[in-house]
Every structure is written in structure tokens, then in C-alpha cells.
Amino acid sequence: MNFDTRELPAYTADALVIGSGVAGLQAAWYLARAGKHVLLAVRDTLLDSNTNNAQGGIAASFGADDNPELHLADTLVAGAGLSDRDISALVTEEGPRDVQVLWDNGAAFDTNADGTLALGREGCHSRNRIVHANGDATGAEVARSLNALVAQEKLVEPMEHCYFVDLLVQDGRCYGAVALYNGKKIVLRAPAVVLATGGTGRLYSKTTNPEGATGSGMAMAWRAGAEVMDMEFVQFHPTALSLKGCPNFLISEAVRGAGGILRNLKGERFMPGYHPMKELAPRDVVARCIFKEMQAADSPFIYLDATGIEDVAQKFPMIAATCREYGVDISKQPIPIAPAAHYMMGGVHTDEHGCTNIKGLYACGETAATGLQGANRLASNSLLEGLVFGRRAAQHIVSEPAPAAPAGLYWQENSLLEEPQDDSDALITESQELMTRYLGIRRDAAGIKKALAALDLLKRKRAGRAALTAEELDLRSRITVDELIARAALRREESRGGHFRTDFPESRAEWEHHVLDSLETAAASEERKQEMGADKDGYDVWTGRPISVMA
């Protein structure tokens, strides 16, 4: 995209927050309360986020029989050896206070008759610790309450329908971003930028995520030189509604926590034969077991039977209403379900304050890889992570002296490009099919190589095309993140958590570490590819020097 920041309309603030899920709203709220002028910019509207769609709840140790240490232990088990202990201890220790603050400030969480929080249980949790609202609409209540708090802050300036082009980075420091605002290029200047753009579910054909979950923040950070971590770990939620013509609607894990049973097409309960935790086994295990049963029956779905749950429609009103709309009475009929892309454990690598390797650039929520989620996120730890790191990023920004941009600093991009074409939607569909086929629940080297070769062809198809529209920018970001996932998946020669390789079906001790990737290592890989040539599948899988790893 051609631009010269000296010629663009400019917006200036103390901080730029990109995204309005739990992490972005929490960061904006804390920044404004500390006296910072905040630009809160979002791709669609303030309510379009994964947070708004989240059902299950927020995991936090409020129960009399619970404590942060028990929550930490469960987090580490679910993370399959890759959840960072220090980060996980920080989140499980600080998280309950953040939930309490939100509750004290108007979040209408479900309570017991004595006024204490009503706590549910989900997969891999050893205690009831899931804080929820309206049964199965926790995310919507979190989004509502945080939006209400942010709306009271005069220092927060919302900017809806703002699609970001690139971050503005000079000498290792971020000074803002260029965006399309209502279709026109603008520059947003701020000494601190918080990426809270959500996950990557829309890279796949079937997902529980909203339209904006395309990894755009990760792609933008990558292009700016930020490190990404653990991009191979994509979590597929085991139970999404699977009916012809219906949306990929999430059936919360809380349904299984309340007694829902998974059955194959013969009506047989199958999870006891796979795992001692049965329906409440880690999500990666349950998703693979369901996938196996679907393959055995050559069926696009199996069943989640909730008919044995007392007052199930009252406990899960949103699920009941949605299923009823598509002809399923969950109190009398099993629910047709199938796994769907749900959550990205990897993302932009950050420290305990949400800082990236680029000064002034922060990431939090699903966009970030803090080390909490490991190889397989523990259910309902995502909203908790967003609250904790949204706050911590804001506090770090407030504590740091804001640097002034060097005098005369500007950015310019001049490319002689053709006019955009109208086939972006077709290319997006093609990329989604590639990811679903080769980088879904089950993977192998041959398939990953085919995906990389096909993605390379997609890049060539769009080479020389002007990224003048949000659709073209979206396609560019999608391909970037697709490649990052594929590169990491090819690199990790084992199976762990959300990454299952049929050619390496076991976990391996030598792979019990995170994998970092950056433009520097990618450049080294490209140089090595030129030396080695392409393989028989048309894509050189030589990775150059090893991708940077963090023990």
C-alpha cells in the first residue's frame, strides 16, 4: 500500500489499543483511569470479539476447597509440559483479584443464594472454579460490563471500522500504526501500542470464532519484526454445533461439565474407552477422539447428549435457544457436534508485562503468547489471561516514561502496483481449505509441505496487487499467519497438546520447549533454501539454521 505519513490525517494519543475483547478493553480502562489518552481502535464494532461470544466462563479459585496452587497444577497438566510455571503462577494468583474488581464494578456474574459466586466445572479442572454469567453467556456479560466502564472514561476515544495496515517501527521502537478508517488511510501516533486483536480461527473452514479472528495483529507484529511463539498449537474445540445450514456455534464445555455425554452414531458412549477423565479429558484429547469416531462412521458429526442434565435449558439458555432454532430440543434430543478451530495458544511472544521484543509494542489476550496456555489451553483460562495481562500491560505503560518521537520522523511506502482484483474471497476460501485439510486436528510432514507449497502459490497470485482494500489486507495477513503455523508445525517433530503429527504420534522429551520464530530466522531460512534448492513437492522444507528456541 502506498502511503506517506506526512500526508495522512493524523490522530495522536498516549496509547493506541487495537481490539475490544477482554484484554483490549481492560487495557484501555486501566490506562484511562491512570490519566492516559487512549485511542481504542477496532476492525468492526466494539462488541465484535471472541470475548463477546465466549460461553463457559472465567477460571478463578474462589471456592472454599480451592486455591491458586491447585489452579496452577491443573493449568500445567493441561498445558502438556509447555505452560510456563512462573507465568501460570502469576495469572492464577492475580486472576481472582481481577475478577473481583470486575464483579465489584458491575459485572453480573451468577451467584448462589448466599451471594457467593456460583462456580461450575470444565474439562481438566480438579475443582469447581468457573465463574459464569447468565448460565452460558459469560463473555457477553464481560464485554458488556467492560464496555460500560470504558464508556465512562472521557479519555478513551473509540474508533470503529478501523482496519490496520502496518505498525510504524523505527530503530526497534513502535510509534503507532497506519490504518484504513472508513476506507481512508490515516496514521495513528502513540508511544505505546497494545495489540489485542484476538485469534486465528477464521483461517479454518469451520470455527467458533467471529469474522475478525484472522490473526491480523500477529501478522502485523511479525512484519514489524516481533517474535512469535508456539504457532503450531491450535486448539480445536471438541463440540461445535454441526447441522447443515447452521452457524459454527460453540456448545460450551460446561455442558459436559454438567453431565453431558458424547455418543457415536450408534448411541454408544465412547470416551471412557479413550481416557480416564472421560468427557472432561483435555480438549485436544476429546477433539481427536471425536474426530476418530466421525471418521469411523464416515459422518460429519457425532452427538453430545445433554438430555440427562436436570433443567438443562435453564442452565444453558443461549445454547438451548440456538439449538431450538435449528430443530433440536436439547432436553429431549442429542446435539449433533463436531470439532472446530477455536483458540490459538501461540502468538506474539511477550514477557510478564505484555512487552514484546519491540519497545513500545505490547500484546495481550489471544494475540499474545505469554507461556500460560502451553500446548493446550485449560478451559476458561483465556478470559482470565485477558484480564490479567490487559491490566499488567496498562500498568507497565503507565510506569514507563513516554519517549517523544524523533523530530521529522515519518514513514513512506511507494510501490508501483496494479489495481486490486475482485477474487480475494475465492483466495481466502482456498487458504481456509488448505489449513483445514493439512493443518487441522491431524497433521503430517507430507501434508504440511503441500500446504506450504500451495500458500507460496497464493502469495504469487497476489504479488504485484495493490492492497488498497480491507479484503486485500486481510488476505495478506491470512497467508502470513498460515505460513507461520505451517512452519512451526513442520519444525515440531512430535505430538503435544493441540499439535498432533501422525508421523510423530508421541511426545518427545527433547521437544519440551517453546519455539520462537522471527523475521531474522525466516531470512536465514530463505538464504539456505536458495543454496539447497526445492524438494520434489515443489517446496524446500529446509529450515536454514534452527529456529530460535527458549528452554
Q: What is the pTM of this model?
A: 0.90
SS3 sequence, 450-516?
Answer: HHHHHHHHHHHHHCCECCCCHHHHHHHHHHHHHHHHHHHHHHCCCCECCECECCECCCCHHHCCEEE
d(Cα 13, Cα 187) in Å, to the nearest integer? 11
376 in Cβ contact with 76 (< 8 Å): no
Q: Name the CA radius of gyration of the chain, rounded.
A: 23
Residues 387 and 95: beta-carbon distance below 8 Å: yes
Helix (H) or strand (E) holding 181: strand 173-181
**Integer Cα distance of 440 and 421 in angstroms:** 29
pLDDT of residue 105: 97
3-state secondary structure of 399: helix
Query: Per the structure block, which three cell numbers stand in for 273?
Result: 474407552
Low-confidence stretches of the chain (pLDDT beneath 50): 416-418, 532-551
pLDDT, tens digit, for every residue of 70-110?
999 999 999 999 999 999 999 999 999 999 999 999 999 99
Question: What's the pLDDT at 233?
Answer: 97
CB 11 within 8 A of CB 39: yes
Question: Which residues are the active-site residues?
Answer: 283
Instruction: Say what the pLDDT of residue 172 is.
Output: 93
pLDDT given for residue 547 in this prediction: 31
Give the up-direction half-sphere exposure of residue 517: CA atoms within 13 A in the CB hemisphere. Answer: 29
pLDDT of residue 533: 45
Q: How many residues does the chain have?
A: 551
Spatial CB neighbours of 187, under 8 Å, sequence gap ≥ 6: 3, 5, 8, 9, 10, 11, 168, 176, 177, 178, 179
92 touches 71 (CB < 8 A): yes
Q: How many C-beta neighbours within 10 Å does residue 426 have?
A: 11
pLDDT value of residue 335: 97
Structure-block grid coordinates of residue 290:
471425536
**Spatial distance between the Cα atoms of 424 and 489, rounded to a whole number of angstroms:** 26
Long-range contacts of 97-105 (CB under 8 A, 24+ apart): 98/26, 98/384, 98/387, 98/388, 98/391, 99/58, 99/60, 99/62, 99/131, 99/384, 99/387, 102/142, 102/145, 102/146, 102/387, 105/145, 105/149
Count of C-beta atoms within a 10 Å radius of residue 444 = 17
Closest C-alpha to 60, from 95, 98, 26:
95
285-326 confidence digits (pLDDT tens): 999 999 999 999 999 999 999 999 999 999 999 899 999 999
